[in-house]
Structure 1
């Protein structure tokens, strides 16, 4: 597995290094002002020197993202299971799920602050709204793609609906579940940052707002760097968990 990662992963790393080198060279060659577009070296220096200023903001965003992700994932799984087991609910509520994703979060978030104040509740609601939908849709697709022949065979063998669900449909939906979880993990960080933009006293979104208002573009890029890194870390952890939980024939050969 490690050999495959090293074999396939060097290309994007090389491209990223080349982009950083071109960025650094262009910043020096064209004498671009720091407030407009800082060089990567300046961003790196600020990331190290300013650690004491933003480390608690980073910790607040991590905590908020994880809480929202856990709650949003739980809601998404419960909704998917309920819609799958109760077809009447699916027919009635599925269109509303689609409609809920057409409401811009950037518009809804201020209303949540008005309704629920500046505490943690509106932030959790924002993250839950952006997380539950991809999980619900992914799990429902996993249930739908369950082999009809296997299901018919279990029914002929006398299995009830509960046994069919736990022994066939749920295991079959696990790959789809992890696909939804990986998408939701990145969305949770985005949702946390958006909620911090609109009403918070800490967090990377709040830190970015202060940095941009004072024209500290280097700090804005530092925040972006840590936000992207956090999203990738969440994605990698879930990919690792998927490999441990869901075993494919190709993985078993490894």
Structure 2
């Protein structure tokens, strides 16, 4: 009679230890995965910065021509409010433009998916819009809308809506024909096929377009600020370059790179979570 309680106490006392051990192993496995995926890139980046610093010092390059990495870092540390305030201006333009592009791209892609007539009517203009250099439109946008936030947002949209639209539309039309036949056999409606089959299958393509858009959105915002602005990292680069403050220019460029990288990473994290959800649903459905 005393064996069962002892066994239960033994199991209950070991359970937290086993759970803690599994959690520790999971954390180390994630860290190992991060090192494996990004370790080489980090090492190469650090080596490049070291070579940059040593080359400037050894060859006695003038700082106004190419500042050393240490000078750029000291510029960032010396005046953080300058880069934070101007970075916030640029970030707002990027986020607003990115949200507008995502909404516009989703509406256009789904519209062309549902209507072949709309696709034949709109698709050529989508392609033609990418043949016009956006930089040439920036002065016109400043004339039409002023030097406020609007022209920067429009330029960001012009840079970013195309990869989102084309990525989502490609994904919606890339569903396996056997899966479509199976859904039809089960009596699924067009709306059910869209929400349960086409849209989940298009998510990898959509996130690929979002990643590209996140990177090029920074370029759009900088171009808009370059043409006409009184604040922002693009404006800071322009004004600092005209004064030969090269260290400040590189510091602003570094801030822009961090912003674009953080947006890319954030989208990748959302993608991993959402696609894992769909993979789990698929595996559960297969098991059932």
Q: What's the CA shift for 1:52?
A: 2.6
Q: Which ranges of structure 1 fall in alignment gaps of 5 or more residues?
A: none
Give the corresponding residue for 1:22: 51
Give the corresponding residue for 1:135: 164
Give the corresponding residue for 1:206: 235
Q: What TM-score, normalized to structure 1?
A: 0.95
Q: What's the CA shift for 1:17?
A: 1.3
Q: Structure 2 matches for 1:136-175, cutoff 5 A?
A: 136-175=165-204
Q: Structure 2 matches for 1:101-250, cutoff 5 A?
A: 101-247=130-276
Q: How far apart, CA to CA, are the structure 2 residues paired with 1:215 and 1:123? A: 25
Cα gap change, 1:249 to 1:81, in 2 (>3 Å): closer
SS where residue 246 of structure 1 aligns? helix
Q: How far apart, CA to CA, are the structure 2 residues paired with 1:231 and 1:33? A: 29
From 18, 34, 40, the equivalent of 1:5 is: 34
Q: What TM-score, normalized to structure 2?
A: 0.84
From 84, 88, 91, the equivalent of 2:120 is: 91
Larger radius of gyration, structure 1 or 2? Answer: 2
SS where residue 13 of structure 1 aligns? helix
Q: Which has the higher contact order (CA 8 A, sep 6+)?
A: 1
Q: How far apart, CA to CA, are the structure 2 residues paired with 1:82 and 1:199? A: 35
Question: Is this contact kept in 1: 2:76–2:83, CA < 8 A?
Answer: no
From 65, 72, 83, the equivalent of 1:36 is: 65
SS where residue 201 of structure 1 aligns? coil
Q: Which ranges of structure 2 fall in alignment gaps of 5 or more residues?
A: 1-29, 284-288
Q: How far apart, CA to CA, are the structure 2 residues paired with 1:233 and 1:171? A: 25
Q: Deviations over 1:22-76 (max 9, x none)?
A: 1111111111111000000111111110213232101111111111111111111
Question: Is this contact kept in 1: 2:83–2:255, CA < 8 A?
Answer: no
Alignment length (residue pairs): 252
**Any runs of at least 4 consecutive aligned residues in structure 1 with deviations exceeding 3 A, and if so which?**
none
Q: What's the CA shift for 1:235?
A: 0.2
Q: How far apart, CA to CA, are the structure 1 residues paired with 2:259 and 2:194? A: 35
